[in-house]
Every structure is written in C-alpha cells, then in structure tokens.
C-alpha cells in the first residue's frame, strides 16, 4: 500500500488505535554480565551490600511508625540508584511499568486502528490503518473523537483518552465523533491491530517519479516492512528514493542493520564497544537494491539512536545525501535486563560508531553533534507546505536526471 501521511513532521500519539512508542535507546539482549559492578552487587543477596540492603528494608518494614510496603520501598530505591547515574537513557522499570513497556513496544496490539494527536475537544485522527475497525466504520483523517461512551474527552490527557478506547479484542467501544459540521455516534468492535511503522507513496517532482518513504521507529520487523514499501514504489516506477526519518527516536539495533542493508550491499553498517565487551562490527546482510538508484535521507533533531545509525551509515558509505537539520546526537546504546522481581533495568552499556569511526554523541551520555546534513532544510510544522520534504525531492530528482 502507498499509505497517505501528514506532510509536516510531528509526534502524534499512536494508539492502535495506536501506541506511543517510546524507544529512546538501541536495545540488545541476553548479556547479564554486562551490568556494571556497583549495580550487579546491589542484586546479589550474599554480598555484604546485599545483606545491608535486606537488613534496612526489614527494619523499616518492622519498626517504622506506619506500615510500609517493602516491595514499593525497594522499587523506589532501585529507581533512585539508577537516577543517581545522571544518565537520561538508563531506567529502572518496576514490574508494572515493565509490563506496560513491553505492551507499548509490541506492534501487535488491540484497539481500533488509528493514529491520533490530542486537541482541546478530544483526539484528532491523523491516520487510519487500512482494514482496521476504524476504517470499516468510516473514520477518516481530521475526524475528532469527543466522547468514549458517556465520558467526554474535552481537555483530557491523551493517555487517559487512549486507555478508554483500547481494550480486549472482540469487545465494543462507542465513540462520539465530529465529522466536519456533524456529530455521529459509532459502535466499533476492537480487534488485534498491527501498528505499521513504514509507509510509502509515489510522488513526482520535475517529471521524476520518487518513492517517498517514511519510517517511524525501529520495532521488530521494521526492516521487513520498509523493504516491502521500497519494493512497491520501485515496482510502481520510482527512479529515486527519499527515506524520511524525521522524529524517529530509534529502537532495535538489529533492525537498524536490516534497514541499512536494504540500501548498502556489503561492508560495515555500525560498530559498538562497551566497558565489558569487545568491539563488535555489524555488516550489511546482503540483498540490497541497486546502488544506481539515487537516495536522500530526510532528518531533523528528533532523528535519534537507531535512526542516526542508519543515517550515518548511508552518509559515510556515500549511498545517500542527508537533507534536513542536525540529528539528535545520541552516541550510546542500552541493554534491557529482566530482573527476578518482574521488573527490568534499561541501562547504557556502550557506544556505537559509524563506518568512518564517528561517535555521534558528546562523550558518554551527553548529547553530541549528531549527523550534519549535506543539504540544510528546516522542517516547520506550522507551515502548510513541508519545505524540508520539497528540498529533499528537489535534491534527489536532480540526481536521477
């Protein structure tokens, strides 16, 4: 499908109905030994520190003047320990938060299949997923959901409104919707929804057909989704490609390699190094499209992490010009380690480097210079015209002639 999308970049609330995907880091799994020693010792009960922690918790639970939930106290202590690292990318998830995180990171969700953003009256629809309950009910872009059942969404938070609309597959939800000047009440049956992260459409600039692709995150399967969209626009006659990753905050490292491999036939995509691991080089996996097809990557300051890995690889390898503004400048990656209590640590374990050896951060967890564009173009969400996209189309069309 060549999915329509907004022409100005913005962060919308994905409730599946959509899901807000908070993937600030590049995740790697399965290496518990990578935990820094101070954190690792905090979870080892037979150490002196572990015994001390257990003794303090027991004393508080037994002798404090009011009842205390020992588990809540431990959760708050662990959260404070991670916060003391002064690392904006490292977090402790208590069991409840970790379950929510796993749900939010899962592209397979239950809802009605819309992408929305909050406004004063409720939730404005910015996209409707094909073949979803919302699409079958006739909901379209710019409709405004003002009530769920008898509950008004006026001046409510997006999270609260989303929680009312989401629910188990097969259950019904009643929505009051403003469609232009009329108000309609619709009853929809929730279903399992796969949230799309890649879309593509065919546009023409100066007589050149261009595949205009958008990738919103690097969740599991993102590379395969994008490859499908690339093949579709090429089959439809595209002679050049734009990969729009504005406001793409990142995700899985493996998916960054999968995405880069669509366009880079071989060689290095990214390398990583951490305090407790050797330097590791990730190579393109093969199966790339022809390098004779010109390409532009469209970025902004919201382009971060895995999205910067792909941008840096394509720029360093001479595969694409970068159009837009400087990217975020995140030069580190995180690993999620599940804990015995059902919670998890999401902590910074190393740095990554582009094929030319650049680290895009500012040293450690500090924000750095990011990827500098080859062609500067500012995105302005307040403008009716997407100036940066126009510059990207102009740039890549000139290469295709």
Q: What is the pLDDT of residues 76-93, one digit of tens each?
A: 888 999 999 999 999 999
Instruction: Give the burial class of 8: count Cβ atoms within 10 A of its Cβ; 0-12 exposed, 13-18 middle, 19 or more buried.
Output: middle
Residue 326 corresponds to which tokens in the numbers above? 């400087």
**Sequence-distant (≥ 6) Cβ neighbours of residue 81 within 8 angstroms:** 39, 42, 92
DSSP 317: T
Rounded to two decimals, the pTM is 0.74
Q: Is residue 9 pLDDT above 50, yes or no?
A: no
User: Residue 8 pLDDT more than 80?
Assistant: no
Q: Which domains does the chain have, with CATH numbers?
A: 108-194 (2.30.42.10), 198-400 (3.90.226.10)
Compare 263 and 107 and report the one with higher pLDDT: 263
The SS3 of residue 173 is strand
Give dist(CA 13, CA 22) in Å, integer: 11
Tell whether the model's pLDDT for residue 29 goes beyond 70.
no
**Rounded average pLDDT over 105-133:** 80
Q: Give 270-290 pLDDT, tens digit per residue.
A: 999 998 878 999 999 999 999
Is it the case that residue 315 has pLDDT exceeding 60? yes
Average pLDDT on 368-391 reads 88
How do beta strands 172-179 and 182-189 pair? antiparallel
**Dist CA 390 CA 380 (whole Å):** 12
- Determine the Cα–Cα distance for residues 305 and 301; give it in Å rounded to an integer: 11
Per the CB < 8 A criterion, the answer to whether 20 and 171 are in contact is no
Report pLDDT for 106.
56
Query: Which residues neighbour 350 within 8 Å (Cβ) at sequence distance 6 or greater?
Result: 272, 273, 274, 275, 277, 332, 333
Residues 6 or more apart whose Cβ sits within 8 Å of residue 391: 323, 375, 377
pLDDT bracket for residue 162 (50, 70, 90): confident
Terminal Cα-to-Cα distance of the chain (whole angstroms): 27
Rounded Cα distance, 14 and 173, in Å: 18
**Position with higher pLDDT, 47 vs 265:** 265
**48-70 average pLDDT score:** 86
The lowest-confidence range among 34-38, 148-152, 224-228 is 34-38
Residue 42, pLDDT score: 44
Q: What pLDDT score was predicted for residue 135? A: 92
Least confident of 44-48, 129-133, 266-270, 395-399: 44-48
Res. 44 pLDDT band, cuts 50 70 90: very low
pLDDT of residue 56: 87
- Mean pLDDT score across all residues of the chain: 85
Residue 46's pLDDT is 53
User: What's the Cα-to-Cα distance from 319 to each of 40, 109, 125, 312, rounded to whole Å?
Assistant: 42, 35, 36, 10
d(CA 154, CA 144): 11
- Cα separation, 6 vs 10, in Å, equals 9
Q: Are 334 and 27 in contact (CB under 8 A)?
A: yes
CB atoms within 10 A of CB 377: 20
DSSP class of residue 230 equals H
């Amino acid at each position: 499908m060549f999915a329509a999308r907004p022409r100005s970049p913005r962060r919308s609330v994905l409730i599946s109905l959509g899901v807000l995907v908070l993937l600030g880091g590049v995740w790697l799994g399965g290496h518990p030994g990578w935990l820094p020693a101070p954190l690792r010792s905090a979870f080892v009960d037979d150490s002196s520190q572990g015994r001390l922690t257990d003794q303090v918790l027991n004393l508080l639970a037994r002798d404090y003047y009011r009842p205390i939930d020992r588990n809540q106290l431990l959760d708050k202590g662990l959260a404070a320990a991670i916060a003391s690292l002064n690392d904006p990318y490292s977090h402790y998830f208590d069991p409840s938060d970790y379950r929510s995180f796993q749900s939010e990171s899962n592209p397979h969700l239950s809802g009605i299949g819309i992408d929305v953003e909050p406004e004063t009256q409720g939730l404005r629809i910015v996209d409707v997923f094909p073949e979803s309950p919302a699409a079958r009910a006739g909901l379209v872009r710019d409709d405004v959901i003002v009530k769920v059942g008898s509950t008004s969404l006026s001046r409510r938070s997006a999270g609260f409104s989303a929680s009312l609309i989401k629910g188990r597959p097969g259950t019904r939800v009643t929505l009051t919707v403003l469609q232009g000047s009329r108000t309609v009440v619709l009853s929809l049956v929730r279903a399992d929804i796969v949230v799309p992260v890649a879309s593509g459409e065919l546009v023409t600039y100066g007589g050149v057909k261009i595949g205009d692709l958008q990738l919103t995150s690097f969740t599991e399967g993102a590379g395969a989704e994008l490859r499908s969209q690339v093949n579709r626009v090429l089959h439809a006659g595209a002679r050049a490609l734009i990969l729009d990753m504005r406001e793409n905050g990142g995700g899985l490292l493996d998916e960054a390699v999968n995405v880069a491999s669509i366009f880079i036939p071989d060689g290095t995509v990214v390398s990583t190094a951490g305090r407790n691991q050797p330097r590791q080089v990730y190579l393109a996996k093969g199966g790339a499209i022809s390098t004779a097809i010109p390409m532009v990557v469209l970025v902004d300051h919201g382009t971060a992490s895995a999205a910067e890995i792909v941008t840096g690889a394509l720029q360093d390898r001479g595969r694409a010009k970068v159009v837009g503004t400087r990217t975020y400048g995140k030069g580190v990656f995180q690993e999620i380690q599940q804990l015995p209590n059902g919670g998890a640590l999401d902590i910074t374990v190393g740095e990554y480097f582009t094929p030319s050896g650049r680290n895009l951060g500012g040293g450690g967890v500090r924000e750095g210079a990011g990827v500098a564009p080859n062609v500067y173009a500012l995105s302005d969400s307040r403008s009716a015209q997407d100036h940066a996209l126009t510059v990207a189309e102009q740039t890549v069309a000139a290469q295709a002639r």
